[in-house]
Amino acid sequence: MEIKINLDTLRRAEADQLLRALSQCKACQTLEYVDIFAGDPAVEERSGNSFAPMRQFLCFRQLRTLQLVFPHCCSNLDNDLLFEAMSSWPHIRSLELMDPHLCSPAVPFRGFFAALRLCPHLQILRMYVDATHIDIDPTAELFQHTSLQTLDLDSHKVADAETVARIILSMLPCVDQVNQVYAGGDCREEWQEVNRHLKSFKPSPVLGRQIIRAAPQS
């Protein structure tokens, strides 16, 4: 079962009502695809302390694709909620959370990778992370997520582009580059620097072929 909603605008109260209605429908065991897109309302709104859109999707345990692109869709998203969500969606393959009003992401890398451990089939991920505080050591982590191939991230600031690149290289071996959730954002140059480090760290295909040809025959 699929649900796709495209609206010109979506006010916070309307979004709350819509998501509550979805969570109470009879499709909890069959819904696999959700795509909700909406533009900004004419009047700026605050998200509210209790508004947490992702919580309304926790009952859909068969989700393969979840795309939320509307104002305040990431409200109150933190380590605990992301972990709970990923544990509720063991089959998720594509997750996109794009909130134009999110100023300070509350999910650092440690919470980000803790949640990734719960969704081994995830192939596409677009979301915000807190890259201003590096709370993980790539040399001390043994975990690797080998299914994720497309990674779009954004952050208020990238504190250390080289360390972020090493984290991605060691834990996400199938990710060749990081795209920005919103291209042209404030951190565009910083994420480009992350990608330059990623490119420099990865061995070139030509060098790899040379090493294989030079290997002694048994």
With pLDDT > 90 as the criterion, what percentage of the chain qualifies? Answer: 45
Tokens of 114: 């803790």
Judge residue 187's burial from the number of C-beta atoms within 10 Å of its C-beta, 0-12 exposed, 13-18 middle, 19 or more buried: buried
Contact 163, 189 (CB under 8 A): no
List beta partners, residue 97: 68
- 76-111 burial string, b = 16+ CB within 10 Å, else e? bbebebbbebbebbeebbbbbbbbeebeebbbbbbb
pLDDT 10s digits, 56-91: 889 899 999 999 988 888 888 999 999 999 999 999
What's the pTM value of the predicted model, to 2 decimals?
Answer: 0.83
pLDDT 10s digits, 157-199: 898 999 999 999 999 999 999 998 765 555 678 899 999 999 9
Dist CA 63 CA 75 (whole Å): 20
